[in-house]
Amino acid sequence: MSVTAPLGFRAAGVAAGLKSGAQRDLALVVNDGPSRAAAGVFTANRVQAAPVLWSRQVLAGGRVTAVVLNSGGANACTGPEGFQDTHATAEKAAGLLGESAGEVAVCSTGLIGERLPMDALLAGVESAAGRLSRDGGLHAADAIRTTDTVSKISFRRGDGYMVGGMAKGAGMLAPGLATMLCVITTDADVPADRLDAVLRAATAVTFDRLDTDGCMSTNDTVLLLASGAAGVTPAEAEFAEKVTEVCADLARQLLVDAEGATKAVAIEVIGAATVADAVTVGRAVARSNLFKCAVHGEDPNWGRVLSAVGTTDAVFEPERVNVAINGIWICRGGAAGDDRSKVDLRPRDVTVTIDLSAGSESATIHTTDLTAAYVHENSAYST
């Protein structure tokens, strides 16, 4: 049900000592081929971690043999030494596998600004290489967790091939092309350029529309690896559909496990002049702390929605905007609508519909409520 569901992949997850206790904190995913085609998308943050800089170079070649992932440290803002540490990680994995370091991607997650304990990490890579198996996907998914309370895995079956995936992320979920760490695998035979197009399209409507706290990570990475082991080249539309379904499933799992969240909120923007306008409006509402607090307090405060919409450059006339919360149109024509007491905000899932009455385009942004638990967890993160 994870990255090892498709043929041609092995994985492992071990405790290398990067995190306290005996928690798994290092994962290794290996593509045994026959194809090594790969694509990746990365954070749009201008401050990028050493593993992102390294893996961008690797993915430029369109081939990935293995991915080393660690939790317990982001290796971000660590200078030239941090980049050397990433290079050493790739070299270690490549040596153990008899492959080229230039085809080993590296992903890290955790506290920013501190170098990784390389003796422990390299020993962990060696341990993981010795435990690689077709059954190792679940342990690998567990090893990349930070504040995640559960592992995130997904799987879809196509016509003669499979797509599997794992992801981590519970905070800093405001992506630009990616969200936190995610590895997707397939045993379909698909060239790198097609993988790239499919992955970018899939992330644009899934991970890119997940915005729980408005904070973009320095380490966001999504990789798509194809082994070709099934010997099937799928129809382009079907393959794109399966990859998008895996991304959407993982994004939903990230949302419901977001730090401190008690509500999963879908902000549906309809009647927009363009898709870009719909995304802009949805993201503005998703990032409104006042709105998120109201949702947590189960208060259907449509004024906070409208005020957030008004901060954007989207095309709309204020007197034509309508807002519904869980199906009750409590704002009509930019003013009070149906009785707000009819809105039931007790369920975990909340849907806010914003009709801009400016066109025919739409988009949905997913977010959460803002809770005291989120504040507490992030005020004490480094300790």
CA distance 155 to 162: 7
Catalytic residues: 179
Instruction: Count each helix (H run) and each strand (E run) in the chain, helices first.
Output: 10, 15
383 is in an annotated binding site: yes
149 is in an annotated binding site: no
- Report angle CA 317, 320, 324 to the nearest 5 degrees: 125
Contact 32/133 with Cβ under 8 angstroms? no
CA-wise closest residue to 351 among 338, 361, 364: 364
91 is in an annotated binding site: no
User: Which residues, at least 6 apart from 147, have a Cβ–Cβ distance to it below 8 Å?
Assistant: 170, 171, 259, 377, 381
378 is in an annotated binding site: yes
Paired with 361 in beta bridges are: 272
Interaxial angle between packed helices 79-97 and 118-130, expressed in degrees from 0 to 180 and rounded to the nearest 10: 20
CA-wise closest residue to 243 among 198, 292, 208: 198
Burial class of residue 20 (count of CB atoms within 10 Å of its CB; 0-12, 13-18, 19+): exposed
CA distance 172 to 220: 9
CA distance 175 to 106: 19
179 is in an annotated binding site: yes
Cβ atoms within 10 Å of 267's Cβ, excluding its own: 26
- Tell me the CA end-to-end span of the chain in Å, nearest whole number: 34
34 preceded by a cis bond (ω within 30 of 0): yes
259 is in an annotated binding site: yes
Taking CA atoms, 383 is separated from 49, 57, 180, 215, in Å, by 21, 33, 21, 20
- Find where tokens 């982001």 sit: 74
Q: Nearest 5°: phi and psi at 155?
A: -160, 140
CA distance 322 to 309: 11
Going by the annotation, the residues of the binding site are: 146, 168, 179, 259, 378, 383
Going by the annotation, the residues of the binding site for substrate are: 146, 168, 179, 259, 378, 383
